[in-house]
Amino acid sequence: GQSLEQPSEVTAVEGAIVQINCTYQTSGFYGLSWYQQHDGGAPTFLSYNGLDGLEETGRFSSFLSRSDSYGYLLLQELQMKDSASYFCAVTGPLDTGRRALTFGSGTRLQVQP
């Protein structure tokens, strides 16, 4: 099976940089994804790492180290609208087309003025 650990809450101020870490244990690994979810909303895709290294998408970056079973999401120039829950998720085994997501428990980010 799969399990993921991430901090439950992070608080930061507008304009700052915050890093949300994720460690995982899986029986089969394909990639690490990050999703953002505002209260009452649906998860929306932010970033994906299939290979080691850094992926950058605007203010958001994500990093993966497969040897360490570790990744992080980096949010720069924080804005109030970034207050949300952030989930890391691993893609399941490579059986036919499944590639289901197993989510971590989520990190609630609160951005303060």
- The minimum distance between CB 44 and other proteins, in angstroms, equals 7
Closest to other proteins by CB, 7 or 50: 50
Smallest separation (angstroms) from other proteins to the CB of 4: 9
Q: Which is nearer to other proteins, 42 or 81 (CB)?
A: 42
Question: Which string of DSSP letters, residue by residue, matches the chain?
Answer: --EEE--SEEEEETT--EEEEEEEE-SS---EEEEEE-TTS--EEEEEESSSEEEEETTEEEEEETTTTEEEEEE-S--GGG-EEEEEEEE---STTT--EEE---EEEEEE-
Chain residues in the site for other proteins (CB under 8 A): 30-31, 33, 41-45, 48, 50, 87, 91, 96-106
